[in-house]
């Protein structure tokens, strides 16, 4: 199946913006380290990135359901280009205060949430239902490639050449992403029709619209299950990853280069996951693949909890990343098929909020567990989170019958009026 020119523009926009994210992931902390040696001041960058996302994610869901998603996408990327152009000028002038970096991180958190939410909502409007697996797999694979393999080393290399070089490249990448989204030709307003009738407009107030999306999400058994699983998986992921660098250096006795290699090996698993997700779904269905992936994630963390062999740990981390990509691709496709187009932003924002809360809880729990019980045990606790998520998937309607895929396709067709 050909995914079409609209999909290619979406793919290019996603690839370009993710390249910028990968570059800044390394370059901005390096820039901060040249400005201060205070660990709290550097750690505060993450706070300025996460806190605005938590505070605005539900409102952003309303925004995505009120306005043309194509416009949100290109404006989000063009505005990031402007911000990084200003940052580049400050770096060149050697006049960059920490406050400027905090502002950039806060802006990045909000605008990235807008862009990501709009991109998820746009894809099912641009791609036929049968092509969503393939489209999501290609986007996830590209994201892994540029985020994990290309962006970080490129950001470090450019920063070594000149402190302003990574920001300058980021400006170009966001301009390319914005241009790709600007060139989308279809209408991407959150309006859906069924025959000749149009669904009623959402409630006027922002609070009422948020409630409408939240109620729909909580009442839909499959979507509610995926949201709960997402919260468990986010917490389970962050428990050990919040201190992974300490585990790598103190338990595995790796130096900085070895730690980087370990992350690269794990990213290979994510890339492999993007290649096999569609094949696994066609073989056993969405639900069974999601459940098996989550249980595989639990097994990989259990292996790490029980060994200090660096080769086994590297292989287990690769398997873990593979499971994460597989389950995320398929969960995204299921949500895109089931959620009405007019509510895609709000319902997904509920899932994003639960996921962000899971990440916050996991980070705090990981720090406490590592302090009290050592650096290996938390991997076992995280494995229990993934095991619980897998069991929840097994007991949900996702795995009730193999015909779920066809049922999801029919429901999606009904909701989008494309019969």
Residue 411: the pLDDT is 42
pLDDT tens, position by position, 403-412: 444 444 444 4
Determine the average pLDDT of the residues in 306-325.
93
197 pLDDT higher than 50: no
Higher-scoring residue by pLDDT: 398, 170:
170
**Residues in the chain, overall count:** 419
Residue 407: the pLDDT is 47
Residue 367: the pLDDT is 84
DSSP 85: H
Mean per-residue pLDDT of the chain: 86
Of 163-177, 309-323, 366-380, the range with the lowest mean pLDDT is 366-380
Return all residues near 216 (Cβ < 8 A) that are at least 6 apart. 223, 339, 340, 343, 346, 347
Residue 203: the pLDDT is 63
Percent of the chain that is helix, strand, coil (3-state, to 5): 85, 0, 15
Residue-range domains of the chain with CATH: 4-184 (1.20.1250.20), 204-416 (1.20.1250.20)
Burial of 93 (0-12, 13-18, 19+ CB in 10 A): exposed
Residue 244: the pLDDT is 83
CB 167 within 8 A of CB 36: no
Determine the average pLDDT of the residues in 284-291.
90
Structure tokens at 80: 């990031």
Rounded CA separation 100/110 (Å): 16
395 pLDDT higher than 80: yes
Structure tokens at 288: 């069974």
Residue 416: the pLDDT is 29
200 pLDDT higher than 80: no
Higher-scoring residue by pLDDT: 255, 9:
9
104 pLDDT higher than 80: yes
Determine the average pLDDT of the residues in 236-260.
83
Residue 106: the pLDDT is 93
341 pLDDT higher than 80: yes
Task: Tell me which residue has tokens 């492999």.
Answer: 272
Structure tokens at 311: 């080769």
Residue 191: the pLDDT is 61
Burial of 209 (0-12, 13-18, 19+ CB in 10 A): buried
138 pLDDT higher than 60: yes
């Amino acid at each position: 199946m050909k995914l079409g020119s609209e999909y290619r523009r979406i793919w290019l926009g996603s690839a370009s913006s993710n390249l910028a994210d990968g570059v800044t992931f390394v370059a901005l902390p390096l820039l901060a380290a040249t400005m201060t040696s205070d660990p709290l001041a550097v750690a505060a960058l993450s706070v300025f990135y996460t806190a605005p996302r938590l505070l605005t994610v539900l409102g952003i869901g309303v925004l995505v359901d009120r306005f043309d998603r194509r416009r949100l996408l290109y404006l989000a990327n063009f505005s990031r280009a402007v911000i990084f152009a200003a940052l580049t000028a400050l770096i060149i002038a050697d006049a960059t205060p920490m406050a400027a970096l905090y502002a950039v991180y806060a802006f990045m958190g909000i605008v990235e949430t807008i862009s990501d939410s709009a991109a998820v909502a746009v894809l099912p409007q641009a791609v036929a239902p049968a092509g969503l697996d393939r489209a999501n797999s290609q986007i996830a694979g590209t994201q892994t490639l540029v985020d994990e393999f290309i962006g970080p080393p490129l950001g470090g290399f450019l920063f070594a050449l000149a402190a302003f070089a990574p920001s300058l490249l980021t400006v170009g990448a966001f301009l390319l992403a914005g241009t790709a989204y600007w060139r989308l030709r279809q209408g991407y307003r959150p309006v859906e029709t069924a025959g000749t009738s149009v669904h009623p407009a959402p409630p006027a107030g922002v609070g009422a619209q948020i409630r409408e999306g939240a109620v729909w999400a909580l009442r839909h058994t499959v979507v509610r299950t995926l949201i709960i699983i997402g919260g468990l998986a986010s917490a389970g992921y962050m428990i050990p990853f919040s201190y992974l660098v300490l585990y790598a250096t103190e338990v595995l006795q790796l130096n900085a280069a070895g730690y980087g290699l370990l992350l690269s090996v794990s990213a290979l698993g994510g890339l492999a996951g993007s290649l096999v997700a569609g094949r696994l779904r066609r073989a056993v269905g969405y639900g069974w693949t999601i459940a098996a992936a989550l249980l595989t994630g639990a097994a990989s963390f259990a292996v790490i909890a029980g060994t200090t062999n660096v080769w086994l740990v590297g292989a287990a981390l690769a398997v873990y990343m593979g499971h994460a990509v597989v389950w995320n691709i398929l969960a995204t496709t299921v949500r895109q098929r089931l959620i009405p187009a007019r509510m895609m932003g709000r319902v997904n924002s509920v899932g994003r909020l639960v996921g962000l809360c899971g990440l916050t809880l996991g980070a705090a729990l990981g720090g406490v567990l590592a302090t009290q019980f050592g650096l290996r045990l938390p991997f076992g606790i995280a494995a229990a989170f993934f095991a619980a998520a897998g069991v929840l998937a097994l007991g949900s309607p996702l795995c009730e019958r193999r015909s779920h895929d066809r049922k999801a396709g029919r429901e999606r067709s009904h909701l989008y009026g494309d019969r």
